[in-house]
Structure 1
């Protein structure tokens, strides 16, 4: 094979792999889009809003909290949402039957996990789904293997592949009723059975390893927050930051609310449940998304060529407001990530710095969807020192504006508004 052919094959392989990662990243955005509803419902259902310490509508609060809790359930709700989202996003020309196949496979997989509870610690004995200690007269719910969101993602990938592979299959005439799309849920259910059985066997060491790594990161304190922040922004380039987030945000750590007795897992779930120690991997995003990236957008606009400055200011003002209010930062980040990777590297490092500084100063804040103004206001009463986010954010805004403006001009980076003539395109499209 010629060197040209080998280079072409490597390029094709890389583009296929990279395209798959981006498609996976977009697929993960679909279930993530449900989280604002889950977070708002969970927040409104707490005592200080609709509950006894707020409006006093206890029964309404109970119903609302249950609704939000169903979506954030780390064993069923969240994994099922991710399973369906990944199946729809990864399957070519997906339709309703893709989601049906994913649900069928996931429910079988989930039931298999629940069929094999963990052993009760001595001297407790298992009675249905409860470990009972007759001597101490105590009873606790039995634990099950819980791959959580990661398990849902894998089941979604299986469902997508099976749907693409079998949704056009035609069987013999006397089995014609089960042709094509009707066949896929049956196959997916069988795969769910096999996958669930495999997880019962192998998840314990995998889960322990992930928990140990997350605990190591958590034990680093501000340093761990910083490492997570850098990795989160770096993986955004290939759309895989959500895969990094899943275990830390939705599964690591456990908190039992002393008033309701309900247990929450993950940094997001624990924060929304009222855990005052949660937010290590969430708090530092607020200064970046509400203040720093909007300032970076203004620096990009100010650095544009004079005849394009008005146009770029209009564009950047729009994406800056989006980042500030909702915490959706991709339009800003993608506007410079690929045309000026040096800027993106600086941004990733500064995000890590914000995570470390915020946590180091004792700020414990969180969000259900993203670190924008909406989550900041809604979750104010749950947070610790939320007011510190404003001065921290303003400091990072000054740093971002100064650094971005200097680097863009110094190295003549082709950020929006500085492109060569004939190379102008929409900079917000990834």
Structure 2
């Protein structure tokens, strides 16, 4: 085996990891819509603005409808968000291509599914014309591919944009060149993809449903595995991929507004058996990691403690209120992998214990105080005192365990780095080679005339 062959495998693996990381990062844009959708939907429910709350029934209907609209069109939002996030140089034509592609994909797959024995019940309705009942395709029904179809179209639109956004066509077709060509080619690709998915999805979708039912039906073990996998993939930016499956795909509930899929959608729709795969995050994100942040603060040397405290206390408050914990986790995951391994195990334990205890609590954004307050009074929220009690216990465990391990093994958590490292970090100009990796910043070369992006043809109305 030659050295070239040996080196090729790691390069292929690194390229695959880079692609998965891009997909994971691109999922953040559509997921960022969820807080707005969850807030609107929650305030529009009967116990908030509705008849059992403030009694503003019409206002509740409008507000709830606004939130429901976003959840009903999550696949389209994922298509647009993934296309913009995955493309290296995205612009408005990327989003337009994603919209065009998903609309074509949605209609084509529904036509294909109408001929499938397993899926036709999800896309066909009975219409009565002249007293005669006949089956017809319900193009307004939710697509069985759900958000996975949107993600797939988003990736395709992004790749086609990168390939064709500079394409030049013959003079008589020049108006359709460049970025204007991207939505056209995306529509054609979505047509072909829709036909392929029409043949593949009845089998693949069945496997996916069976796997989702196994995970959600595994109870405490399934929740624990999900918690461990979620935190293990965080350093690589891949945790959004299993999150998307658990949150928006696995499990189904036939609610008042139709069938919904995924743990978040089911919980917000009122499924009495949902939220068990989300409740375990609250003790970790709201309480445990803030305890870890305070431990890193107190473990810092006295002369650095004030600087570290400002950062860690701010990060702890952010985690407690919003559930955003990356600033805390990235403070120790690379400098102290042992601490991160402990964090992974504790996350799995929390998920498993609360699931086994029957606790249920969901969120629209993350497991923070805002979502806890909003959803505390929901009918399908269960075991809230247990969740809070376990959170307090986790705060104590994280604080003392992290502080002990940091001091015992002298981990270089914030404030405990060597003095020379801190001085360079505080004043990068004092040692530009260390601060900049030994390289001086290079001036950006102006593009040559041949490299310049071709101007798009003017519109016929202005020409």
* TM-score, normalised with respect to structure 2: 0.83
CA distance in 1, matches of 2:250, 2:150: 16
Shift in CA distance, 57/116, structure 1 to aligned 2, threshold 3 Å: farther
Q: Provide the secondary structure at the position in 2 that maps to 1:255.
A: strand
Determine if contact 2:216/2:250 at 8 Å carries over to the other structure. no
Corresponding residue for residue 400 of structure 1: 398
CA distance in 1, matches of 2:222, 2:400: 27
CA distance in 2, matches of 1:147, 1:411: 49
* TM-score, normalised with respect to structure 1: 0.89
Corresponding residue for residue 130 of structure 1: 125
Corresponding residue for residue 211 of structure 2: 213
1:366 to 344, 362, 368: 362
Corresponding residue for residue 167 of structure 1: 165
CA deviations on 1:41-97 (whole Å, 9 max, x unpaired) are: 111111111112112222222222221112112xxx111111111111111221111
Deviation larger for 54-63 or 358-367: 54-63
CA distance in 1, matches of 2:125, 2:19: 43
Is 1:313 paired with 2:309? Answer: yes
Determine if contact 2:291/2:395 at 8 Å carries over to the other structure. yes
Deviation larger for 381-390 or 268-277: 381-390
Shift in CA distance, 421/23, structure 1 to aligned 2, threshold 3 Å: farther
Determine if contact 1:118/1:145 at 8 Å carries over to the other structure. no
Corresponding residue for residue 101 of structure 1: 97
CA deviations on 1:112-169 (whole Å, 9 max, x unpaired) are: 12223446989xx989941589xxx9x9997776221122111111111110110001
Q: Provide the secondary structure at the position in 1 that maps to 2:419.
A: coil
Corresponding residue for residue 230 of structure 1: 228
Is there any run of 5+ residues in structure 1 with no aligned partner, and where?
none
Query: Computing the radius of gyration over CA atoms, which structure comes out larger, 1 or 2?
Result: 2
Determine if contact 2:324/2:366 at 8 Å carries over to the other structure. yes
CA distance in 2, matches of 1:126, 1:337: 48
Is 1:113 paired with 2:102? Answer: no
Corresponding residue for residue 59 of structure 2: 60
Corresponding residue for residue 325 of structure 1: 321
Corresponding residue for residue 276 of structure 2: 280
Is there any run of 5+ residues in structure 2 with no aligned partner, and where?
427-463
Superposition deviation, residue 17 in structure 1: 3.9
CA distance in 1, matches of 2:316, 2:266: 30
Q: Provide the secondary structure at the position in 2 that maps to 1:278.
A: coil
CA distance in 1, matches of 2:136, 2:88: 45
CA deviations on 1:11-45 (whole Å, 9 max, x unpaired) are: 65555444433332221111111000010111111
CA distance in 2, matches of 1:270, 1:141: 25
CA distance in 2, matches of 1:47, 1:144: 25
CA distance in 2, matches of 1:121, 1:198: 17
Superposition deviation, residue 99 in structure 1: 0.8
CA distance in 1, matches of 2:261, 2:160: 31
CA distance in 2, matches of 1:34, 1:419: 38
CA distance in 1, matches of 2:122, 2:2: 68
RMSD: 2.7
Superposition deviation, residue 208 in structure 1: 1.5
Determine if contact 1:80/1:103 at 8 Å carries over to the other structure. yes
Shift in CA distance, 189/339, structure 1 to aligned 2, threshold 3 Å: same
CA distance in 1, matches of 2:7, 2:293: 37
CA distance in 2, matches of 1:120, 1:411: 60
